[in-house]
Amino acid sequence: MTFIYLVLFGFVATAVLGLITSWIDRKVTARVQYRVGPPFLQPFYDIVKLLGKETVIPAGASRGVFLVAPVIGLAGVIAASTLFWVNQFFSDGFMGDWIVAVYLLTVPSLSIILGGFASRNPLASIGASREMKLVIAYELPFILVALVPVINAHSIRLSEIINIQANGGVFAGSLSGILALIVAVLCVQAKLGLVPFDIPEAETEIVEGPLVDYSGPGLAIFRLMKNMLLFTLPFFLIILFFGGFRFSGLNILWTVLEYVGIVAIITVIRNTNPRVRIDQAMNFFWGPMTLLAIVAIILAAKGL
Amino acid sequence: MSLKLKALLKSPWVFHLSTGSCNNCDIETLDCLTPRFDIERFGMLLTGSIKHADVLLITGSCNRMSVVRLKELYAQVPQPCLVVAIGTCAASRGIFKDSYNCPLPLDKIIPVDVYIPGCPPKPEAIIAGVVKLIEKVGSAK
């Protein structure tokens, strides 16, 4: 049974939905720029093509870590999304699975840092060190706002958080919830490495940063991991603030609207902003975002 | 056609390399990425790293300084990889045929799959050339 959750939901469903989401992202970006954009199956072709290419290992790279890093990241995303799917369909979570979810969602960033440093490329090293700073910057407000639903639900179990919202209204309807949601969407933007927080990848200055020396299957797994995150992180936000996916009657429409809404906000932010510097990103997350998160927590503790 | 080849032809990521051109071909190549021509329709993306590339777009007359770099880069491309020579200089050295600084034409240095003549070729010609390349590779195997 665990195998079915892990492979069918954690990997296949998440990968397909993530790739479709990345197509929506690219298509919307193209339409914003008055272009036609890629065909529907484009993300699938990209992954299949990369899987069929040669793997070039740079001279002097740390072979083992270089090859294992993408797999670690993918495993992290699969584990996180499996946890969410299980809590979505069955109340089979365990005590404290919220902590495990936050922990597992950090693993992809760590794998990118590992891969970047292992490839022994100066650009990759710069990218990896920027990624490390960015993780330090956004994790603080992200964990703080993810605490708001925990305070509201008086439980650290994801299934409890979903159940309470199913019975007594979603947390995004309260003042603390809406504040927390705003901060969370911006943190997700940085977690996904999208503009304005694509500082580690910065295509125009350090050509894809940590991924610069990856080719073939390694790059394919990293891209798949990022596309799966593009589904998993909005899914996490929907569980925390909208009470998870609901499939009964008219609620399907609401679920689709919530998901597409979050993805659309992320895409619009990505298309209307320039890239910031790493120190600006750090000031932004440790300054205004952390303050807003603390305000949201105080409001939640007062029951607002 | 195998799935691997089909996927390659559906998403050829291009890497742009200038071997001492006058920059006119480079400007026309970049024009292909603008909203008017939008090569992302064919799944093409401009990559910054040679390790991500499937197609090399080469412009310029291959002067002595850049030949070394060209060979180095060609050795780093993950196979399978296709090479496109853009402009008269890359195709045949053009007016620099007798120059002391351009000892060899591009196709004597690395294998070239398609030539796109013109000084500079129009963006339409570049896109037509790449589409012909895709058709050629697709029907050959």
* DSSP sequence for A252-286: HHHHHHHHHHHHHHHHHHHHH-PPPPHHHHHHHII
Q: Is the pTM of this model over 0.80?
A: yes
Q: Please indicate whether, in this complex, the C-beta atoms of B51 and A212 are within 8 angstroms of each other.
A: yes
Q: Please indicate whether, in this complex, the C-beta atoms of A208 and B3 are within 8 angstroms of each other.
A: no
Q: Tokens in use for B141? A: 């195997």
Backbone angles phi, psi at A32, to 5 degrees: -60, -35
C-beta separation of A49 from B7 below 8 A: yes
Residues on chain A bordering chain B, Cβ-to-Cβ distance under 8 angstroms: 26, 30, 33-39, 41-42, 45-46, 48-49, 52-56, 203-204, 207-208, 211-216, 219
Mean per-residue pLDDT, A126-149: 90
The pLDDT value recorded for residue A225 is 92
Q: Which residues of B touch A35 (CB under 8 A)?
A: 35, 38, 40-41
**CA–CA separation, B50 vs B19, rounded Å?**
15
**CA–CA separation, A130 vs A142, rounded Å?**
18
Q: Tokens in use for B119? A: 């000084």
Residue ranges of chain B with pLDDT lower than 50? Answer: none
Residue A230 CA neighbour count, 13 Å, CB half: 27
Model confidence over A265-280: pLDDT tens digits?
899 898 888 888 888 9
B141: contact with A, CB 8 A cutoff: no
Beta strand segments in A53-200, E: none
CB atoms within 10 A of CB B15: 20
Model confidence over A16-42: pLDDT tens digits?
999 999 998 888 888 888 888 888 988
Model confidence over A40-64: pLDDT tens digits?
988 998 898 888 888 888 888 888 8
Q: Tokens in use for A60? A: 């002097």
For residue A93, pLDDT over 70 is answered with: no
> Shortest Cα distance from A25 to chain B (angstroms)?
13
Report yes or no for ipTM above 0.90. no
* Domains detected in chain B: 11-140 (3.40.50.12280)
Q: Which residues of B touch A34 (CB under 8 A)?
A: 35
Q: Tokens in use for B22? A: 């006058």
Residue A241 CA neighbour count, 13 Å, CB half: 28
**CA–CA separation, A69 vs A252, rounded Å?**
37
Instruction: Tell me if residue B94 falls in helix, strand or coil.
Output: helix
Q: Please indicate whether, in this complex, the C-beta atoms of A216 and B41 are within 8 angstroms of each other.
A: no
**Residue ranges of the domains in chain A?**
2-302
Q: Tokens in use for A210? A: 């940590």
Closest residue in B to A223 (Cα–Cα): B52
Above pLDDT 90, what percent of chain A?
A: 18
Helix (H) or strand (E) holding B27: helix B24-31
Q: Which residues of A touch B6 (CB under 8 A)?
A: 45
Q: Please indicate whether, in this complex, the C-beta atoms of A219 and B8 are within 8 angstroms of each other.
A: no
